[in-house]
Chain A
């Protein structure tokens, strides 16, 4: 479905900053229907990597094949048409504050020139899928973080994409809401057979959601494989330290779960 071959990305030197290479030859194959995690610390290049798939960043060299097309060769005219086949969900939701839940979800279809009836046909079934029927005419300012991300997910799905790109989608959410959002994504993957690329810095997200994982450090993929294998037998130091973080977070999560029980559980 997606094949990255020797993808490099170098940002040219600007006033006040030197030339910076974010990706140093990335090779990654993602099969249709698969959920692949890309994990790494800040600055490892994972955000640049996911943006090279929908060409929000243009690779300096290498090829990005999506569904048989080398998308780095697309013209500026064709690029928007290609991007409509991919949905993207963001860490900070990036919802339009001036639009209601319904109108936010409708936006990708509006951009593609869909009629009102087509938009209703696509958006109406998405509202129950993400559990937001009652918030249909609310504005983002009236929603919680988890609800905003549900809108973000519904919006990414509204143009019936083949691929869902998730950029740190749970990093701004609390542990309980994170669990709900991950379950929702897993459910969507099963129901719609969507291919997903999930960027994260948390091993817990990979464990809960992904089939395969690629570990990034310094602009290269240092380790890659099935999630179970990587968890059972991590080889690279970065993988080991990311797993160690997860153990600490797991304990912290238990502590906060206990304190939440005591304070008679508040809804996130």
Chain B
């Protein structure tokens, strides 16, 4: 039995990791600048732009208030436009990324706002330009918080990736639903659940380890 289960379990795990890694990378590439700007565009801040807050604050909140399964279905036309199809592992990356961007943006914003404003003042007194304040001070000082936040995002995305299984995306969630639930195979269900637990543990532990390495505040 194990010999027949192992290959499909392995393949499903690979699909899940692929979807999550791609969505995390794409989500960070867009969520990071968005989060930095949300944290620095307030009144009297580095890149004061109140219009930016007024436009993107509500958009971020709106995206975050839609349950993921609804979001995944609602943006199917957009997914089809981007990938050419709405079915399959690559197509699932689109809704996962769309959900990850505002999540990551808020996490980055929060981590940056935690940085002592005295450091911004000190950097400006040294002659730092606004972009340098971000790259040389805010991001390095916020790094432990950002790593914690991205770990949280990865774990959340693993959960979401099980849901996109419902719209034909493959991965561990899909395997659990189709084999474990619809074909009454409790052994498959158990294997899927255990694999998910192991993957989440591994992600969380390595995230914690990296955050600890980056944190020089308590040595």
B-contacting residues of A (Cβ < 8 Å)? 54, 56, 80-84, 86, 88, 90, 92, 94, 96-99, 107-108, 110-112, 139-142, 155, 159, 165
Contacts and interface: CB of A to CB of B under 8 A. Distances in A.
Given A80-B128, A96-B119, A111-B136, 11 more contacts: A54-B125, A56-B124, A83-B124, A88-B122, A96-B140, A98-B141, A98-B143, A108-B127, A111-B126, A111-B128, A111-B129
B216 A108 contact: no
A88 B116 CA distance: 17
A220 B140 CA distance: 40
Contacts of A92: 118
A142 B125 contact: no
Given A96-B141, A98-B143, A107-B136, A90 B118 contact: yes
A99 B140 contact: yes
Nearest to B217: A97
Contact of A56 (B125, B132, B214): B125
A94 B126 contact: no
Instruction: Give the 6 A-B CB pairs with smallest separation, nearest first.
Output: A84-B127, A94-B122, A83-B127, A88-B125, A80-B127, A108-B126
Contacts, number: 69
A94 B121 CA distance: 9
B218 interface: yes
Contacts of B123: 107, 111
Contacts of B143: 98
Given A90-B118, A94-B119, A141 B216 contact: yes
B137 interface: yes
A16 B158 CA distance: 45
Nearest to A104: B122
Contacts of A159: 126-127
A83 B216 contact: no
A13 B132 CA distance: 31
B219 A139 contact: yes
Contacts of B127: 80-84, 108, 111-112, 159
Max chain B CB contacts within 10 Å: which of A56, A86, A107? A107
B123 to A, nearest CB: 8
